[in-house]
């Protein structure tokens, strides 16, 4: 994933394994904190994060035309901010990437998925609040097999 340095604007490639960690700009060495906002994921980024993330991953399957998805968006953003360094939040547009939605059995949106170690540990269809999503991420101990 490409992240701009907050100091010099240099674009830095940050691997999925380091999105929840503090890194440094390759040019000016300014610290770049853990990702604190939802990340729009394509198939490649989704797979990279699923395979490499050392922390739980919350995936929000959504679509622009979906009213409940728009209602859930501020709650999802709050989760990304409050769990920075402890979790990664991805947003997957089901209209653009229906193959990902199909792979995880998403039939209604919004649909939330929690992954740990690349495996599903929780899935929920429907709008929920920030505290509920944080609870899902905080309660992750080991993947369900």
Q: Catalytic residue numbers?
A: 66, 69
CB of 140 closer than 8 Å to CB of 114: yes
Residues near 87 by beta carbon (within 8 Å), at least 6 away in sequence: 20, 55, 56, 57, 58, 79, 80, 137
User: What distances in angstroms separate CA 142 from CA 26, 50, 72, 117, 130, one per listed residue?
Assistant: 34, 15, 26, 8, 22
The SS3 of residue 62 is strand
CB 12 within 8 A of CB 25: yes
CA atoms within 13 A on the CB side of 6: 9
């Amino acid at each position: 994933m490409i992240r701009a340095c907050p100091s010099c604007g240099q674009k830095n490639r940050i691997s999925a394994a380091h999105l929840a960690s503090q890194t440094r700009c390759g040019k000016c060495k300014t610290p770049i904190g853990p990702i604190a906002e939802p990340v729009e994921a394509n198939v490649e980024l989704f797979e990279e994060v699923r395979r490499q993330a050392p922390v739980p991953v919350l995936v929000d399957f959504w679509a622009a035309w979906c009213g409940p998805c728009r209602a859930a968006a501020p709650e999802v953003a709050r989760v990304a901010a409050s769990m920075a360094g402890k979790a990664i939040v991805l947003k997957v547009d089901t209209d653009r990437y229906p193959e990902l939605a199909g792979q995880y059995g998403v039939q209604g949106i919004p649909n939330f998925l929690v992954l740990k170690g690349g495996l599903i540990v929780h899935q929920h269809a429907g709008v929920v609040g920030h505290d509920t999503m944080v609870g899902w991420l905080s309660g992750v101990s080991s993947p369900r097999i």
